[in-house]
Every structure is written in structure tokens, then in C-alpha cells.
Amino acid sequence: MKTYFRKISYLATMLAVLGLVACTNNTNSLQEPTYQSAETYLKEIGFRGSVLIRKGNKDVVRKGFGLADVANSTNNNPELIYRIGSVTKSFTAAAIIQLKRDGFIQSLDQPLSDFDDEFPLGNQITLRHLLTHQSGIHDYVAGVEDFVEEHDYYIEKEEILEVITKSIQEDGLQFTPGDYFSYSNANYFILGMLIEGLTGKTYQQYLQEKIYTPLALDHTAKSPDEITGTERAKGYYQDDEVAPYQMNIAYSAGELESSLADLEKWGDAMLGDFYTETEKQEFFAAPYAQEDVNVPGAGWFTLQQNNKIVYHHGGDVRGFTSFLVLVPEANGIIVLLSNEQDQGEQRAKILEVILENEF
């Protein structure tokens, strides 16, 4: 019997209902200033964090805005490290390609039952379904967050996997895999556990070997639960510094921290030859003809906006909002690392404005 996912049963019986995806947008309306320059625009809308906007080899902006640490009156600057939330998923997807290159998997269309014949409905769910959020698996984040905060409980990732599998056993899937798209952190959590089970290495060890070291990503790693050190921006929610957060909850769906320089290198690798042309076709979805419609790929979304095709992924995690955008036709990269939580609306508006005025 093949079982690559180590599971334990303590917590699963205590969590009957899983919460929906913990992605919240800021609903405050944004007053639109007259566009003069990217830097002026970001200042006027009150962006807080660090930004890189690069077109070809020329920086449009590489600058920090607002405070990184309110208590010590420290400004944000491009060298600081920030939690990146779900931008982590682009790294997890790349690790799956590395598994394929290393011979651990043969195809993205392999079902989970090939790797664990005890995984519930694993014969219906493929790796591609997980990568593109078409598995129908319910999200787990809100339910787990509520439980650990209510009970002051430190949770292990194996327990979270048991919560996910228990939910499938008891509640089934939201839909037949492949029929629909429904964003769920559970998809990428499962992929992280698969990486560990197949390689015998931790998720971070595998990323270090296959991605961080080859690309010299010196400031990309698992974020600590408590933000410490002057090298990191503090995280804030509605002007309050956020409390420590168990990054095991996010795991391979959102546990990473990084910097502008590292994400620029990562973006350049994506625009360059990290993926073969065949792999790019599998990971970067073709856009719809209609503008402003996202199409899910593997770790990336494809969007046609202002007549530009872009690949992107955003991140929302305790105290932080992030965005990594690739503009292939201009060899362009946009990185937004905000140390304010729930700035999704602002993030989307910045993309729209910058594409219109700078690209």
C-alpha cells in the first residue's frame, strides 16, 4: 500500500466545518488622483510598502513608501523582507515541475491515487486539478485559524492535512473535478505534502535545492511566526501591528517571505528559461479574448488588461498584501509588497493604472 501523505487523526474530529478561502479585499473606495508619475501616484493613494515597477531594463519605480515599523518610525525601503502570502503558490507550482523533471511524477494528469491510494476520491483528483484550483476541495484556512485562536493551539501541518481529508470524506467535493474553478488553499497545501512525501525532504529544503540556491534568492524562505529583526517590515491591520501568526497554517499555499530583489529574480526566471516552452504552455494559461477576465494556470493567473497580456498572482496573509506581475511583451515586472493587510482593491487598481500609463 502506497501512502506518501503522513496523517494523524487528533484534530480532524474537532473541526467539523471548514471555512472558505481567507482572501479579503479592502472595500474602502479609492479617490483617483490625476496621474503624473508612478511614484507620485503611489504616494497620493497612500500605498504602504515597497514597490518595483520595471519596464525592460529600466526601473520606473524601486522605492519604499510609508512606515515599516511605526513604533520605531522606520521607513519602508526596497531591501526589506515581507510576507508574500499566496505568491508562494508560484514557487510550489515550480517545485511540481521539478518533481516531474526528477522523475517523481510522469504527468500533471496523474491522479492522487497514484501517490496515495488512501486519499479520499484520489482517483478523481489530478495534479493539474490541484494546480489550477479545479479539484472541488473545500478551503481549510478560516476553520483552522478560528480553532487555533480559540483554543490557543499550535497546529502541525499533518493535522491540517487530516482536516482536509476528513472534510472530503464527510462532505465530499464542491463539484466534479475539472468542471469548475474554485480557489482553495487546500490544493496547494496538498501539493506541498506531496513534495515532502515523494522527496523525503521538507518543502523548504526542496525549494532551497531547486529554486533558492540556483537563482540566488537569498531572502526568500518560510516567514517566522513572529516578525522580528530590522530586516523585516512589520505587518499591520487597520493601523495595529498584527500578532504572531502560525505560518504552518499557510504552508505551501502561502508561508513564504521575500524581498523586491528576490521576486524580481523570480520574475525574470519566469520570463526567461526557467520553464521550457512546453512547460510554459502548461503553466501559463492562454488569455480570454475579453479583457479583465482572469484565467487560472498553474501558480499564475493570466489576464488581458489595457490590451496587455499579464501573468500574475497576489497574496493576502496576516499583516501583508502582495502582488507579482509579469508583462512579457515589455519584459516588465511589477512587484507590490505592502505591510498592510487586506489591500486587494488597492492592488488591483494599481495594476490597472500602471499598465495604462507605464506599459
Tens digits of residue pLDDT in 291-301: 889 999 999 99
Does the pLDDT of residue 4 top 50, yes or no?
no
Tens digits of residue pLDDT in 203-234: 999 999 999 999 999 999 999 999 999 999 99
Biggest CA–CA distance in the chain, Å, is 64
Average pLDDT over residues 320-335: 98
- Write down all domains in the chain, each with its CATH number in brackets: 12-358 (3.40.710.10)
Could you tell me which residues come within 8 angstroms of residue 358 by beta carbon, excluding any fewer than 6 positions away?
A: 38, 53, 55, 60
Q: Give the pLDDT of residue 31.
A: 62
Does the pLDDT of residue 7 top 80, yes or no?
no
Please give the model's pTM, rounded to 2 decimal places: 0.92
Give the Å distances, CA to CA, from 17 to 125, 137, 147, 193, 347: 21, 13, 11, 22, 31
Tens digits of residue pLDDT in 227-265: 999 999 999 999 999 999 999 999 999 999 999 999 999
Tens digits of residue pLDDT in 262-293: 999 999 999 999 999 999 999 999 999 888 89
Distance in angstroms (rounded) separating the CA atoms of residues 285 and 311: 9
Confidence category of residue 33, pLDDT binned at 50, 70, 90: confident
Distance in angstroms (rounded) separating the CA atoms of residues 217 and 275: 17
Mean pLDDT of the chain: 92
